[in-house]
Structures are given as C-alpha cells and as structure tokens.
Amino acid sequence: MSPIDSYRHLFGLTGRTYIVVAFLARLPLAMSQLGTLLLVSSATGSYGAGGFCAGALAVANAVGAPFWGARADRLGQRRVVAFQSIGGGLGIAGILVVVGAGLPWGVAAVASAVAGLLLPQIGPLARVRWRPITADSGSRQHRLVDAAFSYEGAADEASFVLGPALVGLGVSAASPTAALALAAAGLAVFGTWFALHETATVTHAATSSGAGAVGRLLTPAFAVLATAQLLVGTVFGSVQTGTSVLATAAGSPGLTGYFHALLGVGSVLAGLAVAALPSRFALSRRLRWFAAGLLVLSAPLLLVGSLPALVPVLLVLGCTVAPYMITTFTLGERVTPPSRTGAAMTVLAAATGLGYAIGAALAGRLADWGGHTPAYAVTVGAGAVAVLVSWGFRGVLERAQPSEPAAATTP
C-alpha cells in the first residue's frame, strides 16, 4: 500500500471533517505561548516579564500533560478533553482579563500557568485513537498505524508553523489581545468538537475492555524514548534562541519566527514521507539513523554567519526532525500497554516541552557570552547525545519489540 493510499484509507475511516477538526484543535496550544509573550511584553514594556509568563504557561502544560493523559486513559477522552478545552479557553481568557486590568505581571504569570495546566495536548491524544480506529483493517493495520503516526507528526509540525504565524497576523491586524482571543475561541470550539467526536468513544471502549492489568508505563524502553524526546525539544529551544540572536544582530529580530518556521517546512514534508519507509526498516533502527542525521545535519549551524546562509541549513535539518519524533512516538505506542497509551503519548510530549525550556535557557546563557554560534552548539550537542542514547540503548528498545523481524535489528 502506497503512502497516498494509506492516507486516503485513514481519512476515509474517520471522515475528512475529523482530520480538519483535529488539526485546528491543536493550533491554540501552538498560538498560546507566543501570544502570551507578546501580550504581556506589550502591556508591561518588559520582554523579561513576557518571557517569564510564556515560560510559566509552557512548563505548566508540560507538567500537567501526563496527568491529563492518564485521566483520559481511565475516564475516556470525551470527558477529559472536553473539560480541558472549555477550561483552557477560559484560562486564556483569564490571561486577557488580568493583563487588561493592569494587574502586576506576577499575577499574569500565575494566570498563564493555570491556562497552561488546562490546555489539552491534542496531537498526542489523536495518536491514541488510530489503533482502535483501524482495528478492523486486518493485516493492513500495522502499516496504517505507522502511516497515521507519520501524518500526526507532520500535523504537529505544521501546527507549530501555522500557530505562531496566526499570532503574527492577529498582532499585525489588531493586537496581541485579538490573537489570544482567537486562540481561546478556537480551543473552546474545535477542542470540544474533537473531544465529542465518535472516535473518542471508540478509543475508550477499545482500550478499557479486555486490557487486563493496567501495566507499567515507566519501563527502561520508555525511559529511553522520553530522553530522546527531551533531546529533540532541546534542539527546538536552542535553534530558536540561536536564530533570534542572529536575526537581532542582523537588525531584523522580527524575522526570527519566519526563519524558525523553515525548520518546520522541511519537517512536515519529511514527516509525510516516513509512511513510505519499508517495514523491514525497523523502528529501533530508524531511531539510531535519524539521531545520526540530527547530529550531522545540525553541525553546519556552527558555520553559519548570516541569515541567508541559515536558510538551507534549517530546511535540511528539518528533514530529520519529524522522522525522529515520529519514530519515538510510534515506538512509545508499541512498548506501552494499551490501557496506558494516552499517558505515554502525553509524557513524550511533556518531555519535548521540558527539553525546549532547557535548550532555550542553556543556549540563551551561552549566547550572552559568545553570540549565536555557542547557542547553536547546544543544538549540535543535543544531536550528539541523541546518537549516544539511541545507539547505546539499542538493545533495550529491540528487546521491547519482540515482534520485529530479526533481520531488521542490524544497524
């Protein structure tokens, strides 16, 4: 089955409306961090205050995501995601109220953390639905689930390109308030729609019936995958920081978002292409080689000295980011008991967010000392550690997948 046929079959199982809703429902999370930064910064005149509030939202979301994922496993996505969508929309509205009232930015930071805690991780939860959705596909299910995870990885990347772009348009057309208001309304509508879709009921029925014991979530293999996601999050944070420093030095700080989006463009295209990889190219083997690609393709960042030179480097680097992430999420689904899949997907997403915060903070420190090149060195360093982790713990991942063909386990 070709990738196009796989995607066509998948979308036929759910209907195209679901695909659109699931994509639009993940945009508010992608919009909220930048929107909060711009809103608080413009109101207080302090980028430090804006950055703190945006960071509070991101960290709270990363900390809360595994809790909500576990609740969704237990109670079903319909109830949990509906609550989060309405609560998260109100949380974003709360930020607008606090900032609009002129309260101290510390209060805005608390409001941002509350909103972040409530915001749903739509992408990881959408992944959980695909195995139950494809349950009647017979021998094709394995291939269809792989294609579904490829699509979800590309959709996540696209949302984190389009989300900030929508914030930029909202700010240009009106104000940061309008951009965040759009995010709140979008979450309340599309997040709730996603929650109430029939696939949520099918998923809960499939994962809660006949699942037996709850099963362990934190296994050695899953710990390796969480570390892998933390490292790719570090790549995101350090690349964005290094690019911001380079753009500011060039006198065009406003171009940072557009250049960072180049990473997402290559990532989306490569993510969609992952569905074409042969099944004999085993997942644990893919992770090792995609990690090597992350290291090799990030190394040219150390040679970049201008914005034009950065363009091809980011485009090419993106071609290994989505395949790497798709592989970790797919492995996470495979090594986790069905009754814990929601928790597993949200833990991996949380690890990515925490890695982003680590990468941005470390790169920022180094950039204060030596500019964009030391910041990009964090990106290369994360790639090097990803290689060590994926190759060093290859046996752990292979043993967690007894169903993989023996021939596919050679490097």
Q: How far is CA 78 from CA 22, 30, 121, 192, 209, in A?
A: 13, 22, 14, 8, 17
If you search the block for the tokens 């990881």, which residue do you land on?
A: 124
Same domain assignment for residues 301 and 201: no
Same domain assignment for residues 8 and 151: yes
Same domain assignment for residues 182 and 318: no
- How many CB atoms lie under 10 A from the CB of residue 357? 16
Contact 144, 137 (CB under 8 A): yes
Q: What confidence score (pLDDT) does residue 215 get?
A: 64
DSSP state of 45: S
Dihedral sign, CA of 210, 12, 324, 60? negative
Q: For the chain, what is the domain count?
A: 2
Residues of the chain with pLDDT under 70: 1, 47, 208-215, 253-254, 256-257, 401-411
Alpha carbon 134 to chain centroid, angstroms:
23
Q: What confidence score (pLDDT) does residue 407 get?
A: 37
pTM of the model: 0.82
Same domain assignment for residues 156 and 303: no
**Which of 209, 237, 257 is the C-terminal boundary of a domain?**
209
**Which of 174, 209, 244 is the C-terminal boundary of a domain?**
209
Backbone torsions φ then ψ of 14, nearest 5 degrees: -100, -25
Containing 330, the helix (H) or strand (E) segment is helix 307-335
**pLDDT tens-digit series, residues 177-186:** 998 999 999 9
If you search the block for the tokens 């997942």, which residue do you land on?
A: 283
**pLDDT tens-digit series, residues 11-59:** 899 988 999 999 999 999 988 887 888 888 888 887 678 878 888 898 8
**Which of 166, 181, 209 is the C-terminal boundary of a domain?**
209
Q: What confidence score (pLDDT) does residue 36 get?
A: 87
Same domain assignment for residues 231 and 373: yes
CATH (domain of 259)? 1.20.1250.20
Q: 161 CB contacts (<8 Å, ≥6 apart)?
A: 261, 264, 265, 268
- Determine what percent of the chain falls in helix, strand and coil, rounding each to the nearest 5: 85, 0, 15
Same domain assignment for residues 383 and 360: yes
Contact 39, 94 (CB under 8 A): no
Buried b / exposed e along 157-196 (16+ C-beta atoms within 10 A): bbbbbbbbbbbbebbeeeebbbbbbbbbebbbbbbbbbbb
- The parent domain of residue 188 ranges over 1-209
Dihedral sign, CA of 31, 226, 148, 268? positive
Same domain assignment for residues 41 and 142: yes
Secondary structure in 3-state letters for 207-259: HHCCCCCCCCCCCHHHHHHHHHHHHHHHHHHHHHHHHHHHHHHCCCHHHHHHH
Same domain assignment for residues 165 and 262: no
Neighbour-count burial of 136, counting CB atoms closer than 10 A to its CB (0-12 exposed, 13-18 middle, 19+ buried):
exposed
Same domain assignment for residues 174 and 63: yes
Same domain assignment for residues 76 and 90: yes
Neighbour-count burial of 106, counting CB atoms closer than 10 A to its CB (0-12 exposed, 13-18 middle, 19+ buried):
exposed
What whole-number distance in Å separates Cα of residue 327 and Cα of residue 290?
9
DSSP state of 276: G
Same domain assignment for residues 134 and 4: yes
Same domain assignment for residues 94 and 141: yes
Reduced to 3 states (helix: H, G, I; strand: E, B; else coil), residue 371 is: coil
Reduced to 3 states (helix: H, G, I; strand: E, B; else coil), residue 396 is: helix
Q: What confidence score (pLDDT) does residue 103 get?
A: 92
